[in-house]
Amino acid sequence: MTQIKNIRILAMWAVLGLCLYSCKKDKDKGSDQVQLINFGPTGAKHGDTLRFVGTNLSQVTAIQFTGQAAMVEKSSFTQQTNELILVIVPSSAEKGLVTLKTPAGDILSKTSFNINVKTTASITSMTPAARPGENITLKGNYLNWISRIVFNQDKVVTTFVSQSLNEVVVKVPDDAQTGTLTITFLGTDSVDIETADTLRVALPLATGITPNPVKHAQNITITGTNLDLTRTLIFTGVDAPVTDFVNQSATQLVVRVPGAAKTGKLTFVAASGVQTIFNSDLDVSIPAIDSMSPNPVDPGAELTISGANLDLVSAVTFANAPAVTSFVSQAPTKLVVSLPIGVARGKITLGVLN
């Protein structure tokens, strides 16, 4: 009986020992896994030392930051032990998750790495002048952290043609105005930097007008530079700006003279609303009366008006009568019209082509 009891006790110890051995084996197997516990500081600057804390970190072969060419190889680690890795933050590192490279696979950080570019970001140069719609280039440091560029008068651009660590290319908005740019850099401590230089945005500039003098409803040809940037053209004496052109290019603008136009300056308005004024007057010819005969004249009789530019007249208005738009005859120096019935003594008004 005692012998059987001893055998049972030995069997129990054997089973217990097997369990302990199995558990130890599983534990040893689990201890080989690389584990990232934390890293920081997350608001480091480029060139700062970053600490990665975990277990079995000696198996890490490289650390991949977000950004182009932002991989730090094992050979470049400042320090590496099972529990700690020290690395220098590469200049191309951007905001994002960090990946630890190991033979068993990648380990992705649970939190994003951010960076402080406030004291290191800078603009060293930019394209000095451009037309609306053209690309300009800005150069400097950590330009890959730019989130937006604000042109004069709060014209915000958040999409860039290209962007890298030291260069950003951006399209000038159609309604941009001459002025400095304000650059916003992201990071744990974001910063706005205003450019030291002014971006000069091209405007339409007239250098000549032909013919001059000109008659109403006649086309004029304006020569100059950047005339294709003209959105509206303002004639002296005309309330509504002209927006419909006969022909338009960078060096030439052809437009019909409105009927209400008077002698005076031409004003060119760009998409930004900025105006440029041609320094010479546009001389607009208008009808002029020298004499009328017979005078006095009876209603229903013909009246001969003599003067200049009378071929521009489209209507003659008498006192107490509707406008007359059909003439007996018309020439540059003579206009013959039948007086309407009911006309009263008074002045006459000449309407011009419009």
Which homologous superfamily does the CATH classification assign to the domain defined by 122-201? Answer: Immunoglobulins (2.60.40.10)
Please state which of the four CATH numbers 3.30.300.130, 2.60.40.10, 3.20.20.80, 1.10.287.3510 is assigned to the domain occupying 35-115: 2.60.40.10
The whole-angstrom separation of Cα 95 and Cα 114 is 5
CATH topology identical between 122-201 and 205-284:
yes
Q: Two tokens at 342?
A: 């009911």
pLDDT in tens, 269-314: 999 999 999 999 999 988 899 999 999 999 899 999 999 989 889 9
pLDDT of residue 178: 97
Please state which of the four CATH numbers 3.40.50.10740, 3.40.640.10, 2.60.40.10, 2.40.110.10 is assigned to the domain occupying 205-284: 2.60.40.10
pLDDT in tens, 161-170: 999 889 999 9
pLDDT of residue 351: 86
DSSP-based helix, strand, coil % in the chain, nearest 5: 10, 45, 45
Q: Which residues contact 237 (CB under 8 A, 6 or more apart)?
A: 260, 261, 262, 264
The residue ranges of the chain whose pLDDT is under 50 are 1-7, 9-29
- Ordered by start, the domain boundaries in the chain are 35-115, 122-201, 205-284, 286-352
Q: Which residues contact 207 (CB under 8 A, 6 or more apart)?
A: 223, 224, 225
Extract long-range pairs of 229-234: CB within 8 Å, 24+ residues apart: 229/131, 229/132, 229/202, 229/203, 229/204, 229/270, 229/271, 230/204, 230/268, 230/269, 230/270, 231/269, 231/270, 231/271, 232/269, 233/266, 233/267, 233/268, 233/269, 234/266, 234/267, 234/269, 234/275
pLDDT of residue 354: 58
Q: Which is it for the CA torsion 154, 158, 164, 170, positive or negative?
A: negative
Q: Using alpha carbons only, give the angle 166, 171, 172 rounded to the nearest 5 degrees.
A: 115
- In CATH terms, the fold of domain 286-352 is Immunoglobulin-like (2.60.40)
Q: Which residues contact 247 (CB under 8 A, 6 or more apart)?
A: 253, 254
Q: Two tokens at 217?
A: 């409803």
What distances in angstroms separate CA 205 from CA 128, 208, 209, 212, 275, one per listed residue? 19, 10, 12, 18, 10
**Which pTM does this prediction carry?**
0.69
pLDDT of residue 13: 42
